[in-house]
Structure 1
Amino acid sequence: MTQQLETSRRIPLNRGRVLEAAVALADKAGLDALSMRRLAEDLGVVPMALYKHVANKDELLDGMVDAVIGEIAPVAADAGWKDAVRLRVLSARQALLRHPWVRHVLETRTNRTPAVLTYTDEVIGMFLAGGFSVDLTHHVMHALGSRMWGFTQELFDDAAAGRGAEAAVPPEAQAAMVQEMAERYPNILQVATAAQHDDGSVVSYGCDDQFEFEFALDLMLDGFERLQRLGWSSTAAKRGGK
């Protein structure tokens, strides 16, 4: 450990190294564990040394988000708009899966950094380049919402079906929870437990999050394409058109 700290001290500190260490710390221990003092310890420097590169924790979080956005793969220039959007969104999803804390930061931060704005601008540009009107693109972006970043709130989770902590809940209690769901919310239970993992195990009910995400994304992209071909406009829609 001492040798590691000595090696760390010999490497010049810069903003990129600070952000890299902060991302690694958040990945390992979560955002709650992230502090300037803890980060300084990981880097083998005094906390004041960090402030030469980030003014405060807010700026640190902004820089961390920008660093993760930098991991989102660019799309080939010759890709059609639908492939371009799909690949970009799925790449963003993979980046957020590698760094789960980013979702919370994106949902709670009001500051839009240049990297966030650039990513948003690029996604909008894909639709415009595909022949979408500004009007339709505006509504498309509302529809995409957080899905643009590769995440969305799921309707069904383990808790909704009386599952999720099987190891901690005795089998008889699990059965009682499912029975209560069946009596009070039969439709939710039927749909929420419709999918099983490949092994078909009784305790392995649940959805394939990646499949469900791509399923919904493809439905949306197909719908956007249909509206674009129809020459959809919000003005006509408000008048009762399609």
Structure 2
Amino acid sequence: MPAGRSPLNRTRVVGAAVQLADASGMAAVTMRATAAALGVEAMSLYHHVANRADLVDGMVDAVFAEIELPDGGGNWRDHLRRLAVSARRALQRHPWATGLLDSRSKPGPATLRHHDSVLGILRRSGFSPTMAIHALSVVDSYLYGNVLQERSLPLDELRGQEPAAAQLLESLPGNEYPYLAEIAAGRAGPDPAPGPDDEFAFGLDLILGALTPDDPAA
């Protein structure tokens, strides 16, 4: 090993793969490319990961490890709100992970710890096992859908929602779409309009407000 190079281990291998995926997407994550990023031969990786599937398992677990778990204070809605916000930020940092978080047949320790923590919050708050799964599923579905929707909006290339709204307003023909024009005019103006974070918080509060424990006295 060259002087100054840190020993190769699973954490370094997974970290290199995560950086590749962040920069170029999952298609760029191969054993050969990961090894090249680490300055080693591909065969060296097999001492730390069994194959590419095992590498992806580690990458997903690394994303789950970035999601902040509850600290014990507050009620179940506060906990789920903080978890969802933290998970959304993790997926914004690692957009490739959105479709992979629940896809692994061999979840890692951070993944298991995350799910167990969320279910524990709900069970201790009076949710039955079935209702706890329902609540977790609906929050996750909203979270993943929101992240995918936000990624599809052309806000980056237009440098924000105000320019995007202004462009839409200019492209609308006459008075043919008055309600679209009304919204676009409001968001293209000088007053701050609800941004993606506000929209996410609004929908999340609707969902959390509609969920009810089976036994509220628990």
Instruction: Please report the TM-score for the alignment, with normalisation by the length of structure 2.
Output: 0.75
| 2:98 aligned counterpart, secondary structure | helix
Match of 1:217?
Answer: 204
CA distance in 2, matches of 1:47, 1:62: 18
| 2:69 aligned counterpart, secondary structure | coil
Unpaired runs of at least 5, structure 2: 160-166
Question: Which segment drifts farther, 24-33 or 50-59?
Answer: 24-33
CA distance in 2, matches of 1:137, 1:196: 38
- Aligned residue pair count: 208
Larger relative contact order, structure 1 or 2 (CA cutoff 8 Å, min sep 6): 2
CA distance in 2, matches of 1:121, 1:148: 18
CA distance in 2, matches of 1:194, 1:228: 42
Q: Give the letter for the 2:202 counterpart.
A: F
Q: Give the letter for the 1:123 counterpart.
A: V
Match of 1:71?
Answer: 66
* Alignment partner of 2:123 out of 118, 128, 137: 128
Report how far residue 102 of structure 1 moved: 1.2
* Alignment partner of 1:35 out of 30, 33, 43: 30
Residue identity over aligned pairs, in percent, reads: 35
Rg comparison, structure with higher value: 1
Q: How does 1:1-242 map to 2 (within 5 A)?
A: 6=2, 10-106=5-101, 109-111=103-105, 113-114=107-108, 115-147=110-142, 151-154=146-149, 158=153, 178-179=172-173, 183=176, 186=177, 189=180, 193=184, 196=187, 199=190, 208-224=195-211, 227-228=212-213
Q: Give the letter for the 1:228 counterpart.
A: P
Report how far residue 120 of structure 1 moved: 2.2
Instruction: Please report the TM-score for the alignment, with normalisation by the length of structure 1.
Output: 0.69
CA distance in 2, matches of 1:112, 1:99: 20
CA distance in 1, matches of 2:77, 2:96: 28
Deviations 1:3-47 (A, max 9, x none): xx9456x32111111111111222223222222111111111001
Gap change, CA 1:153 and 1:33, over 3 Å in 2: closer
CA distance in 2, matches of 1:156, 1:148: 12
Q: Is the 8 A contact 2:168 2:184 kept in 1?
A: no
| 1:53 aligned counterpart, secondary structure | coil
CA distance in 2, matches of 1:7, 1:150: 47
Match of 1:236?
Answer: none
Q: Is the 8 A contact 1:40 1:46 kept in 2?
A: yes
CA distance in 1, matches of 2:157, 2:61: 35
Question: Which segment drifts farther, 150-159 or 59-68?
Answer: 150-159
Question: Which segment drifts farther, 83-92 or 128-137?
Answer: 128-137
